[in-house]
Amino acid sequence: MKIAHIAPPWIAIPPKNYGGTEIVVYNLVEEQVAQGHDVTLFAPADAKTSAKLVSFFEKSLQGEGIPWSAHLKPYYHLYKSIEYIKEHDFDIIHTHLSSSSDMYIFPLTAHLATPHVTTLHSRFPFDRVQSWLGTADANYMEWAPYVPMIAISESARSEVPYPLNFVGVVHHGLPMEQFVPSKRGVSDYFVWLGRFVSDKGTHHAIRVAKEAGVKLVLAGTIDRHQPDAVNYFHTMVKPLVDDDQIKYIGPVNMKGKIRLLSRARGFLNPIEWEEPFGMVMIEAMALGCPVISFARGAAPEIIVHRKTGFLVHNVEEMVRFVPRIGEIDRGLTRQYVERNFSVCVMAEKCMKIYKRVIAAAKGETVRKFPTRTLDETLLTPRSSVIKKVVPAQVGQPVQIVVEAEKKN
């Protein structure tokens, strides 16, 4: 199949440190090329890819110091990509909606003749600058319902306040050959890793570590273009770092991330928002590192409670589960990710959707994607999280859980 991917132009592909959407795009493109597809990636020239690369800028925009609110270059990137596609033959176009400047995808592709699909990587509203919120998202619904959309989780799809044309859910996937646990064994620390913003709950992770009496390593990035993020780090995080129990090691590249997570006792994920996916959770579990997460967003679809980690509802519950992290089988945890969140599984799901979108564009009758909501019974009831041990409560999918029960 001849596939065109239009990546957001902000962060290099693959990202040097943090870049959730960019690493997903990179992994998907590399797997599709490996499977023999003819793939073209539209991204700045500092991208590294096995696909054919078409660029309109030498460097990713963030690397040039361009602030997120500056939309002229992002629009140029999207417009030029679509113009190129109109002059060439592609079977499918796959675009990626991650930040506010990506909203131009809707008017640019809504009536495009070539079959196309957009993955929604982030949450509405997109018309926002730091704490300011606008109303332009509603204006873009003039075009958005005409664009076939992929959600990255059932939770993310259920959170959308607009009548988008969802044609499937595809969870993120990892190249498992890259995520190989360290042979040095497990150390004595827990990890928090991500962007330092309040929604990610770094301050909660620190409190959990202090109350549970365990060491915590903080790793991640501070977006210097976001005053709120800088203020959060310097007021809520940095004063609690003592370089003994609580350590901050700064950003880590992929090699450093793999080393850090594979030796950690567990990963703490006390998120304060309905996170659409949470890439770092499957990265940790792929390395055998169990995750303790607040049961918000897509976490119940990713973590198998009491099998690959624990789902909790507040700091107090997280503190009480920290001593039980040794109950999790690290080998089983990695196997679960390999069977359900590998890049191969992700690519196969995308291919099925591509074929359905192409068939629909040709006027063929296709099965409508079913409307589903996340079953609340997948979550551990608040009253029973601590009081008693119950059978594993499983989100999507369940294959390894069934096998795990057979072994027991």
What per-residue string of b and e applies to 338-364 under the rule 16 or more CB within 10 Å gives b?
bebbbbebbbebbbebbebbbeebeee
pLDDT value of residue 396: 39
pLDDT tens readout for residues 113-148 = 999 999 999 999 999 987 889 999 999 999 999 999
Cα–Cα–Cα angle for 229, 233, 238, nearest 5°?
Answer: 175
* Both structure tokens of 89: 């033959």
pLDDT tens readout for residues 199-213 = 999 999 999 999 999
Q: Does residue 125 have a cis bond before it (omega within 30 degrees)?
A: yes
pLDDT tens readout for residues 29-77 = 999 999 999 999 999 999 999 999 999 999 999 889 899 889 999 999 9
pLDDT tens readout for residues 173-226 = 999 999 999 888 899 999 999 999 999 999 999 999 999 999 999 999 998 878
- Which residue type is seen at 275? E
CATH number, span 2-169 = 3.40.50.11930
Query: How large is the greatest C-alpha to C-alpha distance in the chain, in angstroms?
Result: 63
According to CATH, the topology of domain 189-338+378-407 is Rossmann fold (3.40.50)
- What are φ and ψ of residue 395, in 5° steps? -90, -150
Q: Tell me if domain 2-169 and domain 189-338+378-407 are identical in fold.
A: yes
Please state, in angstroms and rounded to a whole number, the distance separating the CA atoms of residues 314 and 301: 18
pLDDT value of residue 131: 82
Please report, for residues 28, 220, 268, 375, the alpha-carbon distance to residue 312 in angstroms, rounded to integers and kept in the order given: 31, 23, 11, 17
The ranges assigned to domains in the chain are: 2-169, 189-338+378-407
The proportion of the chain whose per-residue pLDDT surpasses 90, expressed as a percent, equals 81
pLDDT value of residue 387: 36
